[in-house]
Amino acid sequence: MSLIKWDPFREFNTLPLRFGGFFGKDLDTPISTTAWNPSVDIFENDNEVIVKAELPGMNAKDIEVRLENNVLLLKGERHFEKEAKEENYHRIEREYGTFSRSFATPNLVNAEKVIAEYKDGVLKIVLPKKEEIKPKPIKIAAA
């Protein structure tokens, strides 16, 4: 189960862009700094639970990963790069700003051995399972 912060007014932040400058260009906040949530895949195998989050265009130093009380927290901020003046942009569709995602983890995770790596815009978190939880095959003796 994942907990996602819902913002019912998020679509209102994009109205000036959708109306093509109808509201004028002197807006206090650029449209690029709305809240966003990165896409996440969570899967498991016999030995570990793996979380992969898409965080393109970010630096590892801007990402925080914590595991506390069986809750995995991903938090960070993607900054808007002003390569050109804002009035020269025709469209801004990539989302920027802060994000926070949290996921309940099962009790079977060994918190002491969690590994996180960030490569090519993907954050991969490996949550190893505790040894006593891993399934063990039982051989059946023939009578």
Query: What spatial distance separates the first Cα and last Cα of the chain, rounded to whole Å?
Result: 46
Pick the CATH number of 2-131 from 3.40.50.2300, 2.60.40.790, 2.60.120.10, 3.90.180.10: 2.60.40.790
Q: Indicate the domain borders of the chain.
A: 2-131
The CA distance from 56 to 79, in Å, is 11
Global pTM value: 0.66
pLDDT tens digits for range 8-66:
666 666 666 556 555 544 444 444 445 678 999 999 998 899 999 999 989 999 999 99
